[in-house]
Amino acid sequence: MSETPNRTFESRPTVCPFCGVGCSLEYAGAGRATGAEGPVNRRGEICPKGAAAFDVVDHDERLTEPLARVGGHFVTATWEEAIERVAEGIGGVVEEHGPDAVAFFASSNCTNEENYLFGKLARLLGTNNVDNCARLCHASTVAAMNDRLGAGAMTNTLEDLSETDCLLVTGANPAEQHPIAFRSYLLPAIRDGATLIHVDPRANDTTEAADVHLPVRPGRDIELLNAMGAVLIAESLTDEAFLAERTTGFDALEEQLSAVDVDANARAAGVDPERLRAAARAYGEADRAAAITGMGMSQHTSGTANVHALVNLALLTGNVGRPGTGVNPLRGQNNVQGASDVGTLPDVLPGYEPVTDPEARARVADEWGVEPPAEPGLTETAAVDRFGEEVRAVVVFGENPAVTEPNATAVRSAFDSLEFSVAIDIFETATTDLVDVVLPGSCWAEKSGTVTNTDRRVMRMRPNADLPGNARRDLEVVAELGRRLTGYPEAFRYDGPEEVFAELTRVAPIYGGMSYDGIGEGYERWPYPAGAEGGTDVLHTERFASGDRRAPLVPVDPVPPADELGDGELVLTTGRVIEQFNSGALTRRSGTLTAMRPEDALLIHPDDAADRGVEDGETVVVSNERGTVTVEAATTPDVRTGVVFCTFHYAEPLINTLTGDELDPIAEIPEYKHSGVTVEPADDR
Ligand SMILES: Nc1nc2c(c(=O)[nH]1)N[C@H]1C(S)=C(S)[C@@H](COP(=O)(O)OP(=O)(O)OC[C@H]3O[C@@H](n4cnc5c(=O)[nH]c(N)nc54)[C@H](O)[C@@H]3O)O[C@H]1N2
Ligand SMILES: Nc1nc2c(c(=O)[nH]1)N[C@H]1C(S)=C(S)[C@@H](COP(=O)(O)OP(=O)(O)OC[C@H]3O[C@@H](n4cnc5c(=O)[nH]c(N)nc54)[C@H](O)[C@@H]3O)O[C@H]1N2
Ligand code: SF4
Ligand SMILES: [Mo]
């Protein structure tokens, strides 16, 4: 145990608050974290983000008192006053417009117990308008995989991926975004001879380990994947036995792909046809080939279609249902998988049971004493679009939509049009600036509970610090809102997170039978307890999770990006760097240009820069019809011509000012990875 002037810390193994890999770490003294040997990081290895995880814990900008807006300014309030304001604000909207006028944004940064209770709060208030930022992230991946295979999660485990012979990594940069998964599971396979194919318009740390790099034009992944499929069929690299026993619909797909002109598709996708052929051969000839898919695939208006095209390749080659294969979305935050598992989604109850299924609702009602509403609710993106109209109030829990949702200017005015809004956060953010009441919650190091990592492992978090000032544990805040906002105060009385988890395991079939004792310092993997000890490792082995022995193959046609390019415009695509995390709220670097490293600037190819008279390091103005952003430019051949890349980690410069709010029609995920922009030197203006 150690002391700082205000806070008490102690070392207990918990889960890293950043990415979905789920490394274990604990307090090491002097404000630092150290890796703890855990189920994922078995040698206690952690990345630079994990090592800096305590930076936020006793940061002097932590929220320590509730804030309530009075005459346009925040004043400190007591908890009683703040909760009363929330009860009046939400209560007034419900009375006048009904419960569906309230939207709930859950937190992928928070525990299963907190999110489960948050979903219960929305539903006992009478609405299914609850969603989490999986909507902005892998919603399209989940939609496509669920549709085809019956489960939207990683088909395989990190462990068995280290046995693969070929990795097709597309629209993902695991070397920076999932560093321990990359170093401890994927790199060993590559060192053992597995071929790495990297599909990304920008060469980055992952590309350095690649055998084949396909610098796809943003938004052209379907052309590229269909061309690979055409090569597989033309060169008989498909798995005949698997196609016969485990799939339907081969004839239609064969007909479509046989007509694909590989060279023309490669040109449309902006890649070399021979390199594309080499990639298809490596994938098709491998004994075990695994696909890894990320935001470059999912964050398009074609996001769901992109993943359908990828699933086709896996099924054509029999690369599903065996170790070292599959289709594997690497999940974002430390609990984005769990937030969805426990039902903070507008169309499903805990455990992905549809809200439209009367039996599922009845099972939930047995536990809750109240039946959840039967109509699917609004997604987060659809809700923001309807702020001020159908939606009059919002409860934002551990999310920062003012920075992370697309078309930021529209998001800001959408918040202004609400009658009431409340945020539960640990810092003042661009979003808390827009709400009426801010409730100070607890950060990762101050809570107990469970989180579910990218390969479906439920692990326990343990407190390493006490709470700052008058901040409260998130679980207690959500429970208090449940008691005050719904007509069912008894449904929100718990002894602590373990009791909430026990209820969750009775409500969500995929978590059935799990317990804190069973998890201990290890994990329990869903679906549980089916299959191997500790849960099911590889999915879809004998049957698909859909219950069927066969999965359908479906022809996928290219979908043009919604944001068409104007004259002289470049394609802006966005993404991440290793040192920063999402909206920057947990990585707390001041949002000034000087704090950015070169990779954090607008990356532009030297030819595109020269055409526009832009010098390396110069300040440029990036604009389109949605707005203007001023940022430093860095010239580099790592980004392909016609494309510029920038991170979205800062409230200033706010890159999402430029992204469009067109949505994928099925998953309602925004098109973060393809916006038309002009770029010019700031001096020219
Ligand atoms: N250090 C760090 N780690 C993180 C995060 C973080 O902010 N910082 N965030 C976490 C979260 S929430 C998530 S969801 C994951 C995301 O992890 P990734 O999916 O790896 O995230 P991105 O960097 O957004 O996108 C990946 C790559 O897609 C490429 N790309 C852009 N457009 C296209 C395209 O049209 N097609 C293809 N094929 N590729 C394209 C980009 O150049 C980028 O390198 O990371 C998690 N881990
Ligand atoms: N242009 C562009 N935009 C994007 C993306 C992109 O690639 N490009 N990626 C999208 C993706 S994949 C994602 S996941 C979203 C992320 O979008 P967000 O979820 O909005 O981003 P975060 O920074 O993770 O927000 C976390 C918020 O929760 C707070 N918080 C953290 N921990 C806790 C806690 O324990 N308790 C409480 N109460 N609060 C907490 C933080 O202070 C912060 O305000 O961004 C999306 N936006
Ligand atoms: S790889 Fe992810 S979970 Fe592991 S230490 Fe780094 S940020 Fe944390
Ligand atoms: Mo994400």
Residue nearest to atom 4 of ligand 3 (CA): 23
Distance (Å, whole) CA 315 – CA 149: 10
- Give the separation between CA 417 and CA 438, rounded to whole angstroms: 18
> At 248, phi and psi to the nearest 5?
-125, 160
The tally of CA atoms less than 13 A away on the side-chain side of residue 199 is 36
Task: Return the DSSP state at 673.
Answer: T
Closest CA to 6 of 440, 467, 427, 447: 467
d(CA 401, CA 590): 18
Atom of ligand 1 minimally distant from the CA of 217: 35
* 486 within ligand 1 shell (Cβ under 6 A): no
Q: Ligand 1 pocket test: which of 140, 208, 295, 638 has the largest number of ligand atoms within 8 Å of its C-beta?
A: 295
Q: Which ligand is nearest to the CA of 46?
A: 3
Which among 409, 437, 405 has a CA at the least distance from the CA of 423?
A: 437
Residue owning the nearest CA to atom 25 of ligand 2? 399
Q: Which ligand is nearest to the CA of 109?
A: 2
Instruction: Give 616 Cα–ligand 2 centroid separation in angstroms.
Output: 30
Q: Is the peptide bond preceding residue 489 cis, with omega within 30 degrees of 0?
A: no
- Residues 440, 477: Cα–Cα separation, whole Å: 9
Contacts of 532 (CB under 8 A, 6+ apart): none
Our mutation pick for probing the ligand 1 site, out of 576, 582, 602, counting the most ligand atoms within 8 A of Cβ, is: 576
Copy the structure tokens of residue 553: 């193959």
Q: Which residue has the tokens 């607008």?
A: 602
Task: Compute the distance from residue 582 Cα to the ligand 2 centre, in Å.
Answer: 5
Any atom of ligand 1 within 6 Å of the Cβ of 559:
no
For 578, half-sphere exposure in the C-beta direction (CA atoms, 13 angstrom radius) is: 18
Ligand 2 pocket, CB under 6 A: 107-110, 133, 136-137, 295, 299, 332-333, 398-401, 404, 424-427, 429, 441, 443-444, 474, 574-575, 582-583, 585-586, 648, 655-656, 659, 672
Query: Whole-model pTM?
Result: 0.97
**Is residue 673 within 6 Å of ligand 1 at its C-beta?**
yes
Q: Which amino acid is at 474?
A: D
Domain boundaries, the chain: 67-136+340-442+471-517, 140-329, 570-684
Give the span between the Cα atoms of 369 and 364, in whole angstroms: 8
Q: Nearest 5 degrees, angle CA 504-CA 509-CA 510?
A: 95
Strand 327-329's sheet: what is its strand order?
A: 212-214, 195-199, 166-170, 289-293, 327-329
Ligand 2: nearest atom to the Cα of 17: 32
Could you tell me what percentage of the chain is helix, strand and coil, using 3-state DSSP and rounding each to the nearest 5? 35, 20, 45
pLDDT tens for 421-453 read 999 999 999 999 999 999 999 999 999 999 999
Q: Does ligand 1 lie within 6 Å of residue 202's CB atom?
A: yes
Q: Among all ligands shown, which has an atom nearest to the Cα of 25?
A: 3
Task: Provide the 8-state DSSP code for 465.
Answer: B
Q: Is 50 in the pocket of ligand 3 (CB under 6 A)?
A: yes
Specify the CATH number for 570-684; select among 3.90.1580.10, 2.40.40.20, 3.30.2420.10, 2.160.20.10. 2.40.40.20
Closest Cα to residue 642, out of 110, 215, 143? 215
Residue 105 Cα to ligand 2 midpoint, Å, equals 11
Tally of CB atoms within 10 A around 361: 20
Residue 120: which of 364, 459, 360, 438 has the closest Cα?
Answer: 364
User: 3-class SS at 137?
Assistant: coil
Q: In what order do the strands lie in the sheet with 24-27?
A: 14-15, 24-27, 33-35
Going by CA atoms, what residue is nearest to atom 44 of ligand 2? Answer: 400
User: Which of the ligands is closest to the CA of residue 402?
Assistant: 2
pLDDT at 528: 87
Tokens 């998001």 appear where? 411
Q: Is the CB of 140 under 6 A from ligand 1?
A: no
Distance CA 232, CA 166 (A): 15
Q: How far is the CA of 169 from the centre of ligand 1 (A)?
A: 11
pLDDT attached to residue 58? 86
| Domain covering 67-136+340-442+471-517, topology | Rossmann fold (3.40.50)
Start-to-end CA distance of the chain, whole Å, equals 57
Point out the ligand 3 atom lying closest to the alpha carbon of residue 40: 4
pLDDT in tens, 320-360: 999 999 999 999 999 999 999 999 999 999 999 999 999 99
Q: Which ligand is nearest to the CA of 576?
A: 1
Whether 341 contacts 349, CB under 8 Å: no
- The closest-lying atom of ligand 1 relative to the alpha carbon of residue 579 is 1
CA distance 246 to 298: 26
Contact 349, 360 (CB under 8 A): yes
Instruction: Please list the residues that pair with 603 across neighbouring strands.
Output: 634, 645
Q: Which CATH number fits domain 140-329: 3.40.920.10, 3.40.470.10, 3.80.30.20, 3.40.228.10?
A: 3.40.228.10
Q: Are 571 and 218 in contact (CB under 8 A)?
A: yes
Low-confidence ranges of the chain (pLDDT < 50): 1-3, 589-595
The full DSSP string for 616-655 is TT-EEEEEETTEEEEEEEEE-TTBPTTEEEEE---SSS-G
Q: Does 47 contact ligand 3 (Cβ within 6 A)?
A: yes
Distance from residue 141's CA to the centre of ligand 4 (Å)? 12
Identify the pLDDT of residue 597.
Answer: 62
* DSSP letter string, 305-367: HHHHHHHHHHHHTT-SSSTT-SEEEPPSBTTHHHHHHTT-SSSEETTTEETT-HHHHHHHHHH
Ligand nearest to the CA of 181: 3
Q: Are strands 420-425 and 437-440 parallel, antiparallel or unpaired?
A: parallel
Residues 167 and 195: beta-carbon distance below 8 Å: yes
Q: According to the model, what pLDDT value does residue 599 have?
A: 65
- Integer CA distances (angstroms), 530 to 85, 147, 320, 514, 539, in order: 46, 22, 19, 11, 11
Q: Is the CB of 109 under 6 A from ligand 1?
A: no
pLDDT of residue 94: 98
